Structure 1
Amino acid sequence: MRIAVTYENGQVFQHFGHCENFKIYEVEDNQVKSSEVVSAIGSGHGALAGFLQGHQVQTLICGGIGGGARTALANIGIELYPGVSGDADASVEALLKGELDYNPDTMCSHHHHGEGHDCGSHSCGENKHGCAGN
């Protein structure tokens, strides 16, 4: 199984659509066998689902994620665990143990000119072009 995590500086990056890197974990017998950080620069919102599919990812752990991305991932069969924050490696280990703290209802929506919104457990602002974790 291959698990991807939106990734920045060892942490779960908080806005799927602006994610520049994913850490992809190869899992066998419920154990991480290997991992690598893969650049997604230039993919953008619409292409990220295809990017993950091209890397044979079955599961995604992320922070905030919009409705369109949720639909695209569902259409290609990628299991989604949104609303996660903290250490990326620890998040994967928690998922494998059945202990991952995530929020299935986490949703990001776009906003303009200082309007705010909430993406699950974090506040969203202009930092990182959308959703910024604490």
Structure 2
Amino acid sequence: MTKKIAVPVNEAGILDAHFGHCKFFALVNTEGDKIISEEKVVPPPHEPGLLPRWLGEKGVTDIIAGGMGQKAINLFNQNGVNAFVGAPHLSAVELIEGHLKGKLTFTANYCNHGANHECGGH
């Protein structure tokens, strides 16, 4: 299964705990448990509700974040993006590889469980 996973990151590519005000997003395309490609993009200026829509329009299927409010989680789900919250402070690649292999523990896990639901059996 192919996925496009977003992770809010700082200049060094490490998880930024403040996803709404991060300097970059790592956007990583995956196939099965392998990373196919990755890019770092600058998000638009912060405004409520914009990032879930912007990432959804970019084809993102999942976001891995440190923390996120319930309203943001709901907005991501409404835009077809599964939110995995409570990620540890690691690089985007480490987070995504751990997530794809089922070895990453989140303190919260929110999935929209839509019609085409496939989120690894959580």
- For the superposition of Structure 1 and Structure 2, which TM-score range results when normalised by the shorter chain? 0.7 to 0.9
Match of 1:73 in 2: 76
Asked if structure 2 preserves the Cα contact closer than 8 Å seen for 1:14 and 1:62, the reply is: yes
Aligned length: 106
Q: 1:58-116 CA deviation, whole Å, 9 max, x = no partner?
A: 0100111112211101112211111112222100000110111211179xxxxxxxxxx
Task: Give the Cα separation in 1 of the matches to 2:109 and 2:56.
Answer: 23
Task: Give the Cα separation in 2 of the matches to 1:50 and 1:98.
Answer: 27
Task: Give the Cα separation in 2 of the matches to 1:46 and 1:20.
Answer: 17
Task: Give the Cα separation in 1 of the matches to 2:24 and 2:48.
Answer: 13
Task: Give the Cα separation in 2 of the matches to 1:2 and 1:44.
Answer: 23
Select which of 31, 35, 43 maps to 2:34.
31
Q: Which runs of 5+ in 1 are unaligned?
A: 107-134
Select which of 16, 30, 42 maps to 2:19.
16
Match of 2:93 in 1: 89
Give % identity: 29
RMSD: 1.7
| TM-score between both structures, scaled by the size of structure 2 | 0.79
Q: Kindly state the Cα deviation for residue 19 of structure 1 after the two structures are TM-superposed.
A: 2.0
Q: 1:15-40 CA deviation, whole Å, 9 max, x = no partner?
A: 12212310000111321011000110
The 3 A distance-change label for structure 1 pair 29 and 86 is closer
**Structure 1 residue ranges (4+ consecutive) displaced by more than 2 angstroms after TM superposition:** none
Q: Which runs of 5+ in 2 are unaligned?
A: 111-122
Match of 1:46 in 2: 49
